[in-house]
Amino acid sequence: MRAGLYTIDSIEQGLVKLLWRVNESVEEVIPFEKLGYSAKTGDLVEVKSKDNELVFEY
């Protein structure tokens, strides 16, 4: 997954589909529990790399 700003496109069956804002044809799917909050469709998520782990900020 690339670092940057993503939009939550959908949440289905415990999976969240994220669209990279730079190029929305780039999709990433992650488990809902990785977000750690009550995410909803349309929210913006900043993905950063910290100590070789992905960090999600809202």
pLDDT score recorded for residue 9: 97
On the question of pLDDT at 37 being above 80, the answer is no
On the question of pLDDT at 31 being above 90, the answer is yes
Question: Which domains are seen in the chain, by residue range?
Answer: 4-57 (2.40.50)
**Single-letter residue type at 43:** D
Give residue 52's pLDDT band: very low, low, confident or very high (50, 70, 90): confident
Residue 13 structure tokens: 């069956």
The rounded distance, in Å, linking the Cα atoms of 12 and 21 is: 20
* Closest C-alpha among 12, 20, 11 to residue 44: 20
